[in-house]
Amino acid sequence: MKIKDLTVDGFRCLLGFEVRFEDDLTVIVGENDAGKSSLIECLKVVTQGRKVEKDDFNHDRTQIKICLGTEEFKFGKVYDLNEDAIIEANLTATPTEEYIEKIRNWLTDENLNLDDIGEQEKVRQTAKTVGLTVRSNSNVTNLKTSILEKFDGTDIEIAGASFPSFNNIQLDGRHFENVSGFFKEVFLKGKQSEIWDEKITKDQTIEEFVKDKINSYSAHVEQSIKDTGVLSRMQLFLKDLTEVKIEPIYQKKDLNIDAKVKFLEHGKEVSIDKKGDGTKRRITMALLEYKKEQSLIEHDASTIYLLDEPDTHLHVKAQLEFLDTVKGFAANGSQVILTTHSPFIINSVKPKKLRLLENNNNHSKIKYIKSDPEYADRILRTLGIENTYLFFAKHIIIVEGETEEQFIPSYFIKAFDETLSSSLVKIINCKGIPNIPGFAKALLEIHSPEKVHLLFDNDASPELTELIDRLQIPDDRKYIVGTKEFEDAFTDEALYTAWAAYLTSYEKEIPETWSVESIRKLRAECAENGKKFSKEIRSLNQRGKKMSKPIFANAIGQHLSDDDIPTRLLELVQAVRQV
């Protein structure tokens, strides 16, 4: 089984919230209190019967609605808050069109053999799944007919449904320290619910026995209400009352089973709790590796892992080892949904697998690549943009040349004694973007346009022009610096000063050919014959230290004062320093 999507309204900060999960690995990221743990808790409400409490209601709401989709069903749960009382509706399930079609094809197949014990059990299980009453003596042919009749109706919602048993492991950071608890999670949890399916007679399971007893008790109570005169007394006050029905509500819960996990060394019991964190983490990693090879429930070939910040307190190497383990789960057909703050984990997965949660005034919103994620994923990975920048950058600067790409980080360090990366500012050279439309669409799905700045000269390239149009960046965030090139925005004196200071810092002599007058003359010649000034200027550096565009840009950024730098360029740098 795989969880496909989740819709939530009214649970803590999740209002009108929708998210789609990957079939293999989904990584939920976001700042503290963005709603990551709330998302995991909502999954547990439906899949584990996790109790909803008063504090789970958003302070503006008195109702919680949760809808979880799998390949076969849409499960729904509603809670209402009436003063201090929480009214819990039954779990509902609506089969998907794909599931209905699959069951119809199976039950109408002329080769279906209802004399086969395996097929009989499958029919019984399907009947239970779609909400039909199944007793130990129920006729299989009649059950088949009832299933088909139910699927032919207009209302096929199943009231009082129960979420199917499935292989699942739930972990948070504490489990890496609570080894005994993790042992129980791996080895006992699945067995607790399986006990209900154990047969107490040849034809009846514990669950069927309990259901039959509950139904018989209900019928007995209804008859007692009539026989003892309670109904007639009530009719004195409710003249239209004709009967009182007792409808039993049954939901299969895990049995309350506990166990002590003992660890022995040479026959002597030792306390794992007194072992170091490193030892406990290695044990839990070993258990995860074991789980990768196991299946606790025969009819479910995969396992769903709900992992809430499992990397807590793990050092970098252990975080990456942990990620390798869960990637192994995903590769083997299981589904992993995890939350994390780890930049190492975030940067180690494909962009399409990330879901970014943001909280605005106690209202969580989610951002991720929705439009053609496979294609957008390839574009972003080709550019080599780390996911931490792609999803968490405070500002993105798009440039069209090597010089400006190097100048900004160089100047930033000199001016503010901090790096662009520490300020979560990312520079992207548009000349490296293989597909402008795809990149623009993916970027805008994750970032608001207000975070994007464009730096270019008056002679913008076709690539940048298209990108400007698609991103719809307003004029105040278009920084035009230079007539034909970034370099020609600086005065002759500034260019001379920057390179001369750079050579001096390396104890190199300044070539005679490197002068203010020679730079001025070269600039005029390039304007006349159309040659690239940024390329030709290297000819004035005869026998000087090697000059390239990035090196020259670094010299300009490191050795010029603000008075020598174009005003518009300074405005850009100041803009991206703002949070």
* Token representation of residue 202: 């040849």
| pLDDT value at 541 more than 80 | yes
Q: Which amino acid is at 473?
A: I
Six token digits for residue 315 = 């050092």
Domains and CATH numbers, the chain: 3-91+163-188+259-367 (3.40.50.300), 97-152 (no CATH), 373-577 (no CATH)
pLDDT at 91 over 80: yes
Tens digit of each residue's pLDDT (9 = 90 or more) over 166-216 = 777 777 766 555 666 666 666 666 566 667 777 788 778 877 788 788 878
Q: Is the overall model pTM greater than 0.75, yes or no?
A: no
Examine the pLDDT at 377 and tell me if it is beyond 80: no
497: pLDDT strictly greater than 90: yes
- In this prediction, residue 160 carries a pLDDT of 77
Q: How confident is the model at residue 438 (pLDDT cuts 50, 70, 90)?
A: confident
When pLDDT is averaged across residues 301-315 and rounded to a whole number, the result is 80
Phi, psi of 399 (to 5 degrees): -120, 175
Instruction: Give the pLDDT band (50/70/90) at residue 537.
Output: very high
Nearest to 3 by CA among 42, 33, 35, 34: 42
Q: What are the residues facing 395 on neighbouring strands?
A: 425
Q: Mean pLDDT, to the nearest integer, of 221-233?
A: 80
- DSSP secondary structure letters along 240-286: T----------------------EEETTEEE-GGGS-HHHHHHHHHH
Q: Using pLDDT thresholds of 50, 70 and 90, give the confidence band for residue 19.
A: very high
Mean pLDDT check: name the lowest of 22-26, 107-111, 201-205, 487-491.
201-205
So what's the pLDDT on residue 291? 63
Instruction: Answer whether residue 544 shows pLDDT above 90.
Output: no
pLDDT at 306: 87
Max Cα–Cα distance, the chain, nearest Å? 117
Give the E-state strand segments of 83-144 in sequence order: 85-88, 92-95
Where are the strands (E) in 459-537, listed by range?
478-480
Please tell me the distance from the alpha carbon of residue 182 to that of residue 190, in angstroms, as a whole number: 13
Average pLDDT of the residues in 154-159: 77
Mean pLDDT of the chain: 84
Residue 21 CA: distances (Å) to CA of 168, 248, 334, 454, 575: 16, 35, 13, 33, 36
Q: Residue 83: count other Cβ atoms within 10 Å of its Cβ.
A: 7
The yes-or-no verdict on residue 294 having pLDDT over 80 is no
pLDDT of 28 above 80: yes
pLDDT band (50, 70, 90) for residue 323? confident
Give residue-wise pLDDT tens across range 247-279.
Answer: 776 665 555 556 566 666 777 777 766 666 666
Instruction: Dig out the tokens for 35 from the structure.
Output: 């709603």
Cα separation of 538 and 558, whole Å?
A: 19
Band (pLDDT 50/70/90 cuts) for residue 561 is: very high
Per the model's pLDDT, the better-predicted residue between 182 and 365 turns out to be 365
Q: Running DSSP on this structure, what letter comes out for residue 128?
A: H
Q: What is the DSSP string of 99-156?
A: HHHHHHHHHT-TT--TTSHHHHHHHHHHHHHTT----TT--HHHHHHHHHHHHHSS--
Give the pLDDT confidence score for residue 62 in this predicted structure. Answer: 93
Q: What angle do CA 153, 158, 163 make, to 5 degrees?
A: 145
CA distances from 566 to 400, 471, 563 (A): 17, 25, 8
Say what the pLDDT of residue 3 is.
94
